[in-house]
Amino acid sequence: MLGNIMAGLGALMNFNTLLFLFIGTLVGLIIGALPGLTGNMAIALMVPVTFTMDPVTALAFLTSIYCSSIFGGSISAILLGIPGTISSFATTLDGYPMAKKGQAGTALGVSTLSSVFGGLFSAVVLMCLTVVLAEFALTFGPAEYFAVAVLGLSCIASIGGKSLTKGLLSGFIGLFFACVGMDPQTGVKRYTFGSVNLLGGITMVAALIGLFGVISVLKSAEKGSSGKDTEAMPEVDNVWIGWKMCKKLLPTWLRGSIIGTIVGIIPGAGTNVATFLAYDVEKKISKDPDSFGQGDPKGVAAPESANNGVTGGSMVPLLALGVPGNATSALFLGALMLQGLSVGPVLFTDHADIAYAIFLAFFIANLLMWPLGLFLLRYMKTILSVPESLLGGIILAFCVTGVYSISSNPFDVAVVIFFGLLGYVFYKFDIPTAPLIVCLVLGSMAESNLRQALVASKGSLNFMWTRPITLVVLLISVVSFFVPIISKAMKAARKRRSPDVVTAGDIAESSTEEMDDD
Amino acid sequence: MTVTHKKDMGLGVAAIAFGAWMFAEAMQLKSGPDFWPKVVAAGIILLGALIFVMGLMGLRKAPAAKGPAKEKAKPQYIHVAAVMVVLVAYYFAFQTIGYTIPTFLMIGATAYILGYRNWKVLLPTSLLTSIALYLVFTKLFGIRFPGAFF
Amino acid sequence: MKQFKRLLAVLLAVSMIFALAACNSGKDDDQSKTPDSSQDGTSGDKNNDSQAPAWPDGKTVTIVVPFKVGGNVDLCCRIIADELGKVLDTNVVVENKEGGGAIIGQTYALSQAPDGYTILAQTSSFVTNILSGDTEFGMEDSIAIGQYCFDPEIVVVSADSGITTIEQFMEKAKSETLTNSTPGFSTSHHIASLILADAHGLNFDYLHTDGSAEQTVQLAGGHAQCGLTTYGGAATLIEQGKIVPLAICAAERSATLPDVPTMAESGYDFVYGAWRGFGVPAGTPDEVVQILSDALKTVMETDSVVKAFEDSGFPVAYLSAADFQQMMNDDYENMSKVYHLLEQ
């Protein structure tokens, strides 16, 4: 293996390749930072360009875009509260509150280091365990996918905010939007209102940007011109967070990276579930779960290490089995094939130098992200000094243009506007939007796989307990769903100093209590 | 406080109505694809009812004497509506007129609604942003915008 | 002063974006400099110059791909676009308009001015979409330019299923119900399975996954027993023996899978596959169609394109405009007979 690493290093170490690694990292960072633009788009545009490069340079270039664009997404999530992609959505939950508290620098610093850590971790896993873990990817059938989707959905109970019922309502409305479109199992149209544009379902990024981008502008509109000068610009602190903080965050990074890498390996589950899970786990084991959502650095560290953990994980099934784990690795497959390379075990036997060069490119790209990220962020955080009133229109322009560019369909712009309005209504009724996003993303995965599992088991539900992975994941989901509810109820009960034993059945009442409290 | 409870009761009713509509639509689907939407619709109705009941209970419990709880700045709904109008107008304009001019106007109009009045900064900023966005998306990403003009 | 600073920041951002743009165009230059324009390419160029100097006249030609960036069709079109640009001596760009099961992109392309500057990437879904009744266009709204690829369906089974021959497979599917994994409802793989089942009385329970990657994983992991797929997506798993190819639904054996018999060899007359080509809106002048069709032929004979297609697992199969039109019309006929199977 050491020989292979040296061979891979040799293949990488030339000026041209390193230059493209550098350019790729920079391009990925900037594209990732723009709302609505994804690294996927950049990679797709670059794949035909890489045709004329040598294989190592081509793959190193794409790898660096992939890694840094995932990290770049956290920049707009933190500074503007607008997640550019679904994978940086969880980062918004704590990153934006941190920025509002004047800790934008810290938040960005945490997200940089978390991303680098997650990326490096997954690069190591990729290098050492690809062949072993590939078999793991194949154990996932519809039943297992269903369980993973349920696990992702179970976190809506904890990210729902103050009122459980409203959080759940938001989630269920998200599930409704996930139903819109052609049913994947029968082709039946559901809730499409006869529109061709809705046949393929609601564009998730458009909904996301409407709920986070447009709403931020509507909120500042609501304040009116009167309040504009009273709000002082938050002081922007340093982006370097110090070793003490690093030490404190290390366990979070480890957990996030492990979750990201493992979930990344499961083909199709991808980045989205990983970030939700990492955030949720961190919140649950935290001594102070209430600080999440208010600007806890761990709430940034967990999803950011997870989504960069996914980068390496998603390459495992691609390199070992020739099956792309997500949309981005599908593009890598295309790039590899254009170079005349076959993936799978053959790659390791026939082109070990290229395989290891890819691993090392992951390594170097993540390392490059660190200085580049910190350097760029120094300037990017000045965006906060632009007055909110001026920024509003620019944000809207970026959101609308970015979303339009996803599939050049003006209808997606209408989706942005609709979800902006919906988000505003939610805001007025104190309904959290986070559960809606989670359910919109995972709803059809849950439904489609449940129905596939039912077909495979000839209509019996026994797959839920006869398949070990499914059973374990479903049990974890149940625990994950009820723990925050019960602990919340117990807390409320303690507050009342009532000797009553509180069970999950009392939730309704305890939440009423809580509403009285505020 | 009572306002919150009344609002919640309204929300509950709205959720029930929405869930009922969703369920009714699902009834027309054939067996198979109807299952999941029905479950979701039932969930929405249930949650709506729960929110309504909780609002009602809260309303009874909460003494009306609490009075005006917090002195918050009154939300400027007219501004919110204006931003929405700008957005909808933009949606139609960028499909008919083109990209750059409506984008320029949209940025300017939004800033005006939000209370920004410094034209010396606003004009060049919105002009530069719209042109830069246009160039980046058309030249770099190969996106074609609809509409008559550039 | 503070405002000036702000303005400066904005300017800085803008200039950075421009730098990026310049960077990209630099790369494009690199690409055109690479000496891979074969003789065919240059001769095609000259022909166009002498015969029809008017079109395309250096104006940009856009290929509308009704699928997402990075998909198989998109990849094919991007390979072709590069070379087509050289042959036509103009800029050929790919525009993705995904959504609505490709209907949005197809509607968009066919409603553009019929001047040849907008080309639609045609796939099997064009025909199935028209049959679904959801489209505003019909077969008559498009003129064929040519086909560049025909990807025959392969009958595959999971290694866990224990099935090793096509005869065994047919027997088993007749006597019991097999789980059949597809990359999605009404995809060509699904339709091929429906037609096969209808013709020979086979019993399938369908598991519709989301894309060919998921389909092949389900088969390789033994979560579904059988399926129809194309070579490109399953190649690696076939090599590893996790997926077993039984028969190919083509007229003759494939060069990539020489040991796999055709369906006809095994006594089942079944030829089916995913076809890909180009079309333009009805009303496009004949000369323009001819120029495009010839250019496509030249492109598909270029060594670099042939190699790129081979490496990506897409079988090149060029059909002229007339042949492609005939093929689409035949497909429409055939599909309209079996479309009811989808609606059951």
Q: Residue A194: its pLDDT value, please? A: 84
Is the predicted pLDDT of residue A388 greater than 90, yes or no?
A: no
C6: contact with A, CB 8 A cutoff: yes
List of residues 6+ apart from A229 with CB closer than 8 A: none
Chain A contacts in chain C segment 107-126 (CB below 8 A): 107
- Distance in angstroms (rounded) separating the CA atoms of residues A21 and A62: 8
Neighbours of A466 (CB within 10 A): 12
* Residue type for position C35: P
Q: Residue C7: list chain B partners with CB under 8 A.
A: 121, 124-125
- Asked if A322 and C235 count as a contact pair (C-beta separation under 8 A), the reply is yes
Top-confidence residue, C42 or C56: C56
- Of residues C14, C24, C94, nearest to B140 (C-beta): C24
pLDDT at site C36: 39
Mean pLDDT of A397-413: 88
Eight-class DSSP state of A140: -
Q: What is the number of alpha carbons within 13 Å of residue A298 lying toward its C-beta?
A: 23
Cis peptide bond N-terminal to C56, omega within 30: yes
- How are beta strands C61-65 and C118-123 bridged, if at all? parallel
> Can you give the pTM of this predicted structure?
0.84
**CA–CA distances in Å: residue A516 to residues A490, B3, B58:** 16, 12, 7
Q: Which of A179, A512, A516 sits opposite B37 (nearest CB)?
A: A179
Amino acid type, C173: A
Joined together, the tokens standing for residue C207 give 């598991």
pLDDT for residue B139 is more than 90: no
Given a cut of 90, whether residue A179 has pLDDT beyond it is yes
- Does A44 contact chain C (CB < 8 Å)? yes
pLDDT tens track for C256-300: 889 999 999 988 888 899 899 999 999 999 999 999 999 999 999
CA distance A482 to A158: 9
Token pair of B79, please?
A: 């501004």
pLDDT at A269: 66
Q: Hey, where are the domains in chain A?
A: 2-223+233-517
Separation of CA B146 from chain center: 24
Please give the mean pLDDT across all residues of chain B: 87
Nearest-CA neighbor of A105 among A313, A380, A500, A457?
Answer: A380
Q: Do C3 and B118 contact (CB within 8 A), yes or no?
A: yes
Instruction: Give me the pLDDT at residue A498, please.
Output: 54
pLDDT at A186: 87
| pLDDT tens-digit map of B73-82 | 678 889 999 9
Q: Residues C194-214: pLDDT tens digits?
A: 999 988 999 999 999 888 888
Q: Residue B137: its pLDDT value, please?
A: 85
Looking at this protein, which amino acid is placed at residue C218? Q
Q: How many residues does chain C have?
A: 344
Q: How far is CA C160 from CA A144, B4, C13, C163, in A?
A: 18, 60, 57, 8
Residue B88 to residue A228, Cβ atoms within 8 A: no
DSSP A90-106: HHHHHHHHHIIIIIHHH
Segment A55-67, tens digit of pLDDT: 899 999 999 999 9
Amino acid at A81: G
Q: Identify the CA nearest to C338 among candidates C239, C197, C206, C216.
A: C197
Spell out the SS3 assignment of chain C.
CHHHHHHHHHHHHHHHHHHHHHHHHHHHHHHHHCCCCCHHHHHHHHHHHHHCCCCCCCCCEEEEECCCCCCHHHHHHHHHHHHHHHHHCCCEEEEECCCHHHHHHHHHHHCCCCCCCEEEEEEHHHHHHHHHCCCCCCHHHEEEEEEEEEEECEEEEEHHHCCCCHHHHHHHHHHCEEEEEECCCCCHHHHHHHHHHHHHCCEEEEEECCCHHHHHHHHHCCCCCEEEECHHHHHHHHHCCCEEEEEECCCCCCCCCCCCCECCCCCCCCCCEEEEEEEEECCCCHHHHHHHHHHHHHHHHCHHHHHHHHHHCCCEEEECHHHHHHHHHHHHHHHHHHCHHHHC
Residue C18 CB coordination number (10 Å):
15
Residues in chain A within 8 Å Cβ distance of C314: none
Q: Which of C197, B79, B38, C55 is nearest to A227 (CA)?
A: B79
Average pLDDT over residues B92-113: 92
> Averaged over C13-21, what is the pLDDT?
45
pLDDT of residue A415: 95
From residue A383, alpha-carbon distances to B5, C13, C179 in Å are: 39, 10, 55
A268: phi then psi, degrees, rounded to nearest 5: 95, -30
Q: Given an 8 Å threshold on Cβ–Cβ distance, is A323 in contact with C30?
A: no
Residues 6+ apart with CB under 8 A from C23: A23, A27
* DSSP strand pairing (C92-96 vs C177-182): unpaired
Comparing C-alpha atoms, which of A485, A479, A474, A439 is closest to residue A157?
Answer: A485
| Ramachandran category for residue A81: left, alpha or beta (phi over 0 → left; psi -120 to 50 → alpha) | left
- pLDDT value of position A120: 94
Closest C-alpha among C97, C98, C145, C100 to residue C122: C145
CB–CB of B140 and C21 under 8 A? yes
Angle at CA A507, nearest 5°, toward A503 and A508?
140
Distances (CA, A) of A214 to A138, A249, A389: 41, 32, 13
Q: pLDDT per residue over A278-337, tens digit each?
A: 999 998 888 888 888 888 999 999 999 999 999 988 888 888 887 777 778 888 888 887
SS (H, E, C) B98-126: ECHHHHHHHHHHHHHHCCCCCHHHHHHHH
B interface test, pick of A190, A214, A444 with most B CB neighbours within 10 Å: A190
pLDDT confidence band for A222 (50 / 70 / 90)? confident
Q: At A190, is the secondary structure helix, strand, or coil? A: strand
Summarize the confidence of residues A138-144 as an average pLDDT: 89
Confidence check: pLDDT of A518 > 80: no
Q: Contact at 8 Å (CB) between C295 and C282?
A: no
- How far is it, in rounded angstroms, from Cα A249 to Cα A31? 27
**From CA A101, how far away is CA A384, in angstroms rounded?**
12
Alpha helices in A198-296 (DSSP H): 204-209, 215-223, 242-265, 270-285
Question: What confidence category does residue A234 fall into, taking pLDDT thresholds of 50, 70 and 90?
Answer: low
Interface contact A41-B141, CB threshold 8 A: yes
Query: Which residues neighbour C20 within 8 Å (Cβ) at sequence distance 6 or greater?
Result: A27, A30, B136, B140
Query: Is C21–B135 a contact, with Cβ atoms under 8 angstroms apart?
Result: yes
Question: Distance from A455 to chain B by nearest Cα, in Å?
Answer: 11
Q: How far is C184 from chain B (nearest CA, A)?
A: 15
In terms of CA atoms, which chain B residue is nearest residue C62?
A: B144
Residue among C129, C38, C111 at smallest CA distance from C284: C111
Are the beta carbons of A377 and A26 closer than 8 angstroms? Answer: no
Q: Which residues contact C52 (CB under 8 A, 6 or more apart)?
A: C287, C291
- Whether B17 contacts chain C with CB within 8 A: no
d(C-alpha C320, C-alpha A487), whole Å: 70
Radius of gyration of chain C (CA): 23
Chain B closest CA to A218's CA: distance in Å? 6
Contacts of B125 in chain C (CB under 8 A): 7, 10
CB contact under 8 A, B118 and C10: no
B140 pLDDT exceeds 70?
yes
- Cα A240 to chain centroid distance, Å, stands at 24
| Cβ-based contacts of B140 with chain C (< 8 Å) | 20-21, 24
User: What is the C-alpha to C-alpha distance for residues B150 and C337, in angstroms, rounded to an integer?
Assistant: 46
pLDDT in the model for residue C29: 38
* Cross-chain residue pair C20–B118, CB shorter than 8 Å: no
> Does C94 sit within 8 Å of B142, measured CB to CB?
yes
- Among A112, A125, A128, smallest CA distance to A366 is for A112
Task: Return all residues near B145 (Cβ < 8 A) that are at least 6 apart.
Answer: A404, B94, B98, B99, B134, B137, B138
Q: Which residues in chain B touch residue A394, judged by CB atoms under 8 angstroms apart?
A: 107, 125-126, 129
Measure the CA–CA gap between C135 and C111, rounded to whole angstroms: 12
| H or E element that contains B130 | helix B119-135
Residue C312 pLDDT more than 70? yes
Residues of chain C with Cβ-Cβ distance to A338 below 8 Å are 75, 79, 308, 311-312
User: Could you give the domains of chain C?
Assistant: 43-150+274-338 (3.40.190.150), 154-271 (3.40.190.10)
Percent residues over pLDDT 90 in chain A:
32
Six-digit token string for A76: 């707009």
Tokens of C311: 């490496």
A to B CB pairs, distance under 8 Å: 184
For residue A393 the two structure tokens come to: 């229109």
Distance (Å, whole) CA C190 – CA C184: 7
- Cβ separation A221–B113 shorter than 8 A: yes
User: What contacts A207, CB < 8 A, 6 or more positions away?
Assistant: A177, A415, A416, A419, A437, A440
- Comparing CB atoms, the residue among A325, A339, A408 nearest residue C95 is A408
Q: Which position has the higher pLDDT, C72 or C129?
A: C129
**Residues in chain C within 8 Å Cβ distance of A386:** 6, 9
Residue C53: the pLDDT is 55
Inter-residue contact C98 to C104 (CB < 8 Å): yes
The closest of C151, C186, C176, C114 to C271, measured between CA atoms, is: C151
CA-based nearest residue to B136, from A469, A37, A176, C189: A37
- Which residue among B62, B87, B142 sits closest to A396, beta carbon to beta carbon? B87
Is A452–C308 a contact, with Cβ atoms under 8 angstroms apart? no
What does the pLDDT read at residue A502? Answer: 43
Place of tokens 């490059």: A368
C69 inside 8 A of chain B by CB: no
* Chains contacting chain C through 3 or more C-beta pairs under 8 A: A, B
What residues in B contact C6, CB-CB < 8 Å?
121
Q: What integer pLDDT is reported at residue A229 of this predicted model?
A: 45
User: Choosing among C16, C18, C62, which should be mutated to test the B contact, i.e. which has the most B CBs within 10 A?
Assistant: C18
